[in-house]
Homo-oligomer: A and B are copies of this chain.
Amino acid sequence: MILTVTLNAALDITYRVPSLRPHATHRVTEVAERPGGKGLNVARVLAALGHEVTATGFAGGVTGRCLREGLAATPGLVDALLPVEGVTRRTIAVVDAASGDTTQLNEPGPEISPAEWAALRSAYDDLLPTASAVALCGSLPPGVPVGAYADLVRAARASNVPVLLDTSGEPLRRAVAARPDIVKPNAEELAELTGFHEPLRAARDARRRGARAVVASLGAQGLLAVTPEGHWRAAPPARLRGNPTGAGDAAVAGLLSGLVERLPWPDRLARAAALSAATVPAPVAGEFDRDGYEELLGGVAVTDGVGAV
């Protein structure tokens, strides 16, 4: 199975409104709710691709219960979340019906106690031996040590389990130094990590800092991969409008599924770029449009080498 870790899980709520106007009152015309947080989005896409996936992390309170009920309805996904005293956060994506543009409101996460973090650490060690790959995704809730991901990366490497990391800020900086197999920052996270705004230069710098491979998600420009096996860029055929929430998570699922299926890098990247693009027009954050994915997959242009970047 593939193991995903979501320390700051969320109940993702999507609202559709005719048009969001600051300081006005809006009647929400549609409400959708689903389990969220980057790692759970990754887990859902992996399950939809037919992989066995186990999701660990934290869930608590009323929102945690709603989230776990949502996970129970996902075939192929094993819920190994640990209960916590705090209340799982909500995120609200407000989608303008006219333009498809999205405004995001993210609650802060619950406070995690040292005992809760120790329980997660131990559960992770128990899950690693049966994992074919690990994804560490998203922000750290209050109370989790800033070196948490570095610790989890080292444990995965000690067990010879390939590990992908998708986070930002200081947790990313520390965990990169622990030598993860893949990091998947977006352009802003990569620039923050390295100080370089030019993605290729920044990705090379991130490799020097410890990452074996760097796959940067560059929004509508697709993916840039800098790996020991080569450099590629994967661009979706067209820019799609919609809700970009979960596009990066779908890319992570594409990369991980390609890794465990031992696909060559260009095929992994094509899959990741197509999955990523297929989430944008989906009505609910973190879902992907399967027909759209199949169609997009044929249209992704993967270009080889540095010159093309």
Contact = CB atoms under 8 A, between A and B. Distances in A.
Interface of A: 15, 17, 20-29, 31, 62, 65-66, 92, 94, 96, 101-108
Contacts of A106: 25-28
23 contacts: A15-B107, A17-B105, A20-B22, A20-B103, A21-B22, A21-B103, A22-B22, A22-B96, A23-B101, A23-B102, A24-B103, A25-B103, A26-B103, A26-B104, A26-B105, A27-B108, A28-B106, A28-B107, A29-B108, A31-B107, A31-B108, A62-B66, A94-B105
Given A21-B22, A22-B22, A31-B107, 4 more contacts: A23-B101, A26-B104, A28-B106, A94-B105
A283 to B, nearest CB: 17
Contact of A103 (B22, B27, B66, B96): B22
A278 B289 CA distance: 49
Contacts of A92: 92, 105
A285 B309 CA distance: 51
Contact of A28 (B17, B24, B25, B105): B105
Contacts of A23: 96, 101-103
Contacts of A101: 22-23
Contacts of A107: 15, 28, 31
